[in-house]
Structure 1
């Protein structure tokens, strides 16, 4: 970017939008915002308009910009696998007699998501609806007004079964109105996720937060700030739902990733117990004896030295080096031996080694994956899919297991299952462990595997 361009009114406008609304635009997208800048600055001139946006009198203008810039595509019962686990597992686990369950829908747009939660709660009867407190927030004032009005088009109800439409909506010439009993159970607020609001985000304010398909519009540093705020606002052990293509890898370590059927979601980790600090005990060391110096164990270094040989496909040399290492009998050494069997086409030996590794926690996920590859080579794709799914259950961050499971699901015609797995693979691959790429990447690097995942997703007639 040239110095002149970086100081242009358009660049300054885009920087203000990112600072205030969190929306990030790549340079090739800047032209899309130029007409809006010209329109909004017509009465004041460019400099006067940019000064307004920087002033304390800018609130009304920022609300108008939020209406124009925020994306609001949504509909009732969207991402049903996540809603099902919310209803069948998450909310029942949080229910306490007489105590409210507080659910926040962040970036709720026109309200379909929070209303869907209230509707399913009444339909499924697994949680007392009177205990449920659902709040939807969005930066777009027009979207919030729409949500409070609770009038929807047939397109917004496209995933709602006819029986539920008849039970919970009243049809009129203006569309479908949500019945008051359901509408009144959900509250809405206009709120910017980037603004500090200590009272709103107070600790333990919510049991569940849904922020689905929102973070993908924000740069990483904005996402980290928002997720940290949400982590603080959740009760210990509270739940966070993101969109199917969104991940917390590289964003936050406050959560553990969970999976139920085709749904991925997060649970806030319990705070670590405070460490007890003991008074240091001084042990005298005789003058003639030096205190021993701890040396790091050399075993991992020895195994790591074999990885470049695997990358270069020098398997015979890697095999000879492995046999000479004392770490060969350790779980990681046995895993390397199993992979070498696999690369040499000795599938029976690889399968035998994989079965032995299943009982070892550190290698369980890798063992399932290895056994899946063996089954795939034997033509048993259904069995291989089960193994890849088991690998993902053992370690939900194992990107390659999601990639292979999604590929085989697409081949089997299970397009919905394939999309879920492939989206998860694409979100996790940028952070996949280099060791796993070397052992199980099939000669592809990280970029090549990303391209494989994108092609598979395109074959499902959908690109994220």
Structure 2
């Protein structure tokens, strides 16, 4: 059976929030069913209830990770919203890369890799168009809680459908190589070498990641409660070097959550500078 009782849904919602901070909210049973039902046959469960109860058992680490993975995997696209990537060239690369400084960037929810690889492509384009700039280079750390997404990121192989979402023909030609079967393309090594992928939960300590000049956390905070949003934002502030910036999604705001940043209005878009 693929039904989900109200009581079990509430238990699972609390479990998911405790594990990764994601708040499902009421009446999202359909989302749980659509994400987890495919796992029933894979792992030999006869009901969704059995699968969820087993996943919430503390001893079932592997199944727990698979279930969390299924619930947190989100689609993304290349150069999403465009303006944050234009800001890299217009403002952030020139400002943060002065005097040969290496710019350290964190893509805090890399999903299938489009965001960190888009940042890397912008860095390479900037160096090509303005020789001598970014002499210290750009180092990108990309993290995600989904192990399957991270494996896909590291492979850097995308099908035609993924490549069609936000990627120009010119960038495809410049930064990708065709795979042997012709239906997919692989991102080039010169893009890949700028990005390091790491498994990371935004509820954990940020100290092992080090310090950054720029943090991308776009369209992620919408899934968290206000308390967890506030905690994450204050941890971001502690993870930034002086003068560092935070970029959020277009619909996200810091209002009432933290006072560690000044809002900087750009044209277009808004970014947040560490106070």
Contact map agreement 1:137 1:191 (CA 8 A) in 2:
yes
Contact 1:213-1:243 within 8 A present in 2 as well: yes
Contact 2:100 2:134 in 1 (8 A): no
Change (3 A) 1:174 1:247: same
Which residue number in structure 2 is paired with residue 207 of structure 1? 213
Q: Which of 233, 239, 242 is the equivalent residue of 2:239? A: 233
Q: TM-score, normalised by structure 2?
A: 0.85
Match of 2:142 in 1: 136
Partner of 1:438: none
**What is the number of residues matched between the two proteins?**
260
- Residue 160 of structure 1, CA deviation: 2.5
Counterpart for residue 121 of structure 1 = 123
Aligned to 2:45: 42
Partner in structure 2 of residue 168 of structure 1: 175
Matches within 5 A, 1:172-321: 172=179, 173-200=182-209, 202=210, 205-269=211-275
- 1:34/1:180 CA distance change after superposition, 3 Å: closer
Q: The residue matched to 1:145 in structure 2 has which SS?
A: helix
Correspondences of 1:433-444 after superposition (within 5 Å): none
Is the Cα contact below 8 Å between 1:122 and 1:129 reproduced in 2?
no
Between the aligned partners of 1:113 and 1:163, the Cα distance in structure 2 is 18
Q: Distance in 1 between matches of 2:61 and 2:240?
A: 29
Shift of 1:97: 3.5
Displacement, 1:135? Answer: 0.9
Aligned-CA RMSD value: 2.6
Find the counterpart in structure 2 of residue 67 from structure 1: 69
The structure with the largest strand share of the pair is 2
User: Cα gap change, 1:116/1:103 in structure 2, threshold over 3 Å: closer, same or farther?
Assistant: same
Query: Gapped runs of 5+ residues in structure 2?
Result: none
Q: 1:80 to 1:48 in 2, by over 3 A?
A: closer
1:94 matched to which residue of 2? 96
Q: Distance in 2 between matches of 1:236 and 1:41?
A: 52
Structure 1 residue 84 displacement after superposition: 0.8
Partner residue of 1:370?
Answer: none
Residue by residue over 1:155-182, the C-alpha shift from the partner in whole angstroms, topping out at 9 and shown as x without a partner, is 3333322222111111232412111111
Preserved CA contact (<8 Å) 1:193 1:226 = yes
Q: Which residue in 2 is equivalent to 1:14?
A: 13
Instruction: Tell me by how many angstroms 1:191 deviates.
Output: 0.9
- Counterpart-to-counterpart distance in 2, 1:33 and 1:192: 20
Instruction: Between the two structures, name the one with larger relative contact order (CA 8 Å, sep ≥ 6).
Output: 2
Whether the 8 Å CA contact 1:102–1:208 is kept in 2: the answer is yes
Q: Distance in 2 between matches of 1:122 and 1:82?
A: 16
Cα distance in 1 between the residues matched to 2:146 and 2:263? 30
1:83 to 75, 82, 85: 85
| Cα distance between partner residues in 1 of 2:222 and 2:135 | 32
Deviations 1:242-273 (A, max 9, x none): 0011111111111111121112111111xxxx
Structure 1 residue 223: Cα displacement: 0.9
Q: 1:49 to 1:120 in 2, by over 3 A?
A: closer
Judged with a 3 Å threshold, the aligned counterparts in structure 2 of structure 1 residues 73 and 223 are, in CA distance, closer, same or farther, namely same
Q: In the alignment, is the contact (CA less than 8 A) between 1:107 and 1:211 conserved in 2?
A: yes
Residues 89/65 of structure 1: CA separation in 2 closer, same or farther (3 Å cut): same
Report the secondary structure of 1:248's partner residue. Answer: coil
From the CA coordinates, give the structure whose radius of gyration is larger. Answer: 1
Paired residues of 1:41 and 1:49 also in contact (CA < 8 A): no
1:383 paired residue number: none
> What do residues 262-306 of structure 1 show as CA deviations (whole Å, max 9, x unaligned)?
12111111xxxxxxxxxxxxxxxxxxxxxxxxxxxxxxxxxxxxx
**Alpha-carbon offset, residue 142 of structure 1:** 0.9
Deviations 1:373-392, CA, capped at 9 Å, x for gaps: xxxxxxxxxxxxxxxxxxxx
Deviation at 1:46, TM superposition (A): 5.7
Other-structure match for 2:23: 24
